[in-house]
Chain A
Amino acid sequence: MTKTTILGLYTDANYAAEAGEALERTGLSNKDFDFLTDTPYPEGALGERHSSHRLYIFPFIGALIGLTTALLLTTATQVSYPLITGGKPVLSIPPMAIITYEGTMLGAILFTVIGIIFESRLPSMKKQIYDDRITEGHIGVVVTCDESKVNDVEQALTQAGAIDIKKENV
Chain B
Amino acid sequence: MQEGRILSAKRINNDLLRGVFENPLRYWLIIGFLAIFVLGAMGAAGYMINRGLGVTGLNRPVYWGFFITNFVFWIGISHAGVMLSAILRLSKAEWRRPATRAAEVLTIFSLLTAVMMPLIHAGRPWRVIYWVFPYDFSRGIWPDVRSALVWDPSAINTYLTSSILFVFVALIPDIAVIRDRTTGIRRKIYGVLSLGWRGSTRQWKFQAIAGILLSALILPVFVSVHSIVSWDFAMAISVKSWHSTIFAPYFVIGAVLSGVSGVVTVMIFMRWIFGWEEYIRKEHIESLAKLLVVIALGWFYFFAMELIFGIYGQEGDELATKHMQMFEPPWVWFFITFIVCSFCIPVPMWLFSGVRRSMFWMVVTTILVNIGMWLERFIIIVPALARKQVFSGTWYTYAPSAVEITIVAGTFAMVLLLFLLFAKLFPLIPIFDIKEGQVLRDEIQVGRRKVPAVIRED
Contact = CB atoms under 8 A, between A and B. Distances in A.
A32 B197 CA distance: 19
Contacts of B213: 55, 59, 112, 116
B228 A120 contact: no
B195 A124 contact: yes
B115 to A, nearest CB: 15
> In the complex, which range does the number of interface residues on chain A fall in?
35 or more
Nearest to A58: B213
Interface in B152-178: 154-155, 157-158, 161-162, 165, 168-169, 172-173, 176-177
B161 A38 contact: no
A165 to B, nearest CB: 17
B195 A34 contact: no
Interface in B198-237: 198-210, 213-214, 217-218, 220-221, 224, 228
Given A77-B145, A120-B207, A122-B203, A105 B196 contact: no
A37 B154 contact: no
Given A95-B151, A105-B162, A128-B196, A39 B9 contact: yes
Interface stretch (A21-29, A133-141, A143-151, A152-160): A133-141
B436 interface: yes
Contact of A40 (B151, B169, B204): B204
Contact of B180 (A102, A120, A121, A135): A135
Contact of A39 (B151, B165, B439): B439
B455 interface: yes
Interface in A71-115: 73-74, 77-78, 80-81, 83, 85, 88, 92, 95-96, 98-99, 101-103, 105-106, 108-110, 112-113
Contacts of B351: none
Contacts, number: 180
Contact of A109 (B146, B161, B202): B161
Nearest to A121: B202
B195 A37 contact: no
A170 interface: no
B423 to A, nearest CB: 19
Main secondary structure of the interface of B (DSSP, over half): helix
A92 B146 contact: yes
Interface in A2-56: 13, 34-43, 46, 48-49, 51, 53, 55
Given A36-B200, A80-B142, A81-B142, A110 B165 contact: yes
Contact of B221 (A41, A49, A105, A132): A105
A119 interface: yes
B160 to A, nearest CB: 10
A167 B141 CA distance: 64
A57 interface: no
A78 B383 CA distance: 35
> In the complex, which range does the number of interface residues on chain B fall in?
35 or more
A150 B206 CA distance: 31
A109 B165 contact: yes
A123 B143 contact: no
A120 B146 contact: no
Contact of A34 (B147, B173, B201): B201
A102 B145 CA distance: 13
B443 interface: no
B329 interface: no
A38 B198 contact: no
A80 B154 CA distance: 20
A36 to B, nearest CB: 5
5 contacts: A102-B157, A113-B210, A135-B9, A135-B177, A142-B200
Interface of B: 8-10, 13, 134, 140-147, 150-151, 154-155, 157-158, 161-162, 165, 168-169, 172-173, 176-177, 180-181, 195-210, 213-214, 217-218, 220-221, 224, 228, 432, 435-436, 438-440, 455, 457
Across chains A and B, which 4 residue pairs bring their CB atoms closest together, nearest first?
A: A137-B9, A124-B196, A77-B142, A39-B435
